Structure 1
Amino acid sequence: MKYLCLVYAEEDKLHSQPDSPEDAECQAYADSLATKGQLLDGRPLESVTTAVTVRKRSGQVSVTDGPFAETKEQLTGFYLVEAADLDEAIAIAGDIPPGRVGSIEVRPVRELQVS
């Protein structure tokens, strides 16, 4: 089953805390998951300052600068993993390096039901 591990952290503090991971450590972890066939995709995201939020209401599209909600932590990256079950996905998420300074949200990926 596919799980999306969403990495949240305070963007301005992500790389400045004593436990902050370096890019090389994140890449090494991703490589280790890929070697085991568990990493389907994963990427860091550009700064939240580059984000836009798109909404469509009553047929009208609006675009707002920034993320959807004002929060202390921002979405900073993701790992799309293959795991046997939620427990295995949680174990994978527990070792994602930015989790030391932020949080990792684990969500099953739902397949679209189309005919």
Structure 2
Amino acid sequence: MRYALLLHYPEMTADDLGPDALAEGMRAFADYATALDAAGVLISAEVLQPSPLTTTVTAVDGALRVQDGPFADTKEQLGGTFVIEVADLDEAIGWAGKAPSVSWGAVEIRPSGTHFVDGAWTTFSYR
């Protein structure tokens, strides 16, 4: 079985953390990802861009509703994730609108900022 490990912690900028704490955090996550990779269990590692870049899609009332931010109108639990690679946010919204759960919950869309593959971290920006 596959599991998504969704890491929740206070969102802070690099300036909030300071250079020493940021460097230590990056080392710790690199070590963790390397250990998972060495164990043969790492499928994908993603560091998400800040939550203000999130787009949430719902269609509970039958009409597709797109809103900025990770803000659902009701309390919900995260039930799963799909990682997709598409050309732009519009295409991602199209796919989110086709998710089976969009009719009874929210699909949060957040660009990936950093990923770990083939033993190295790669960082990129969508904006």
Q: TM-score, normalised by structure 2?
A: 0.46
Q: Which has the higher contact order (CA 8 A, sep 6+)?
A: 1
Greater fraction of residues in strand: 1
What TM-score, normalized by structure 1, do the two folds share?
0.50
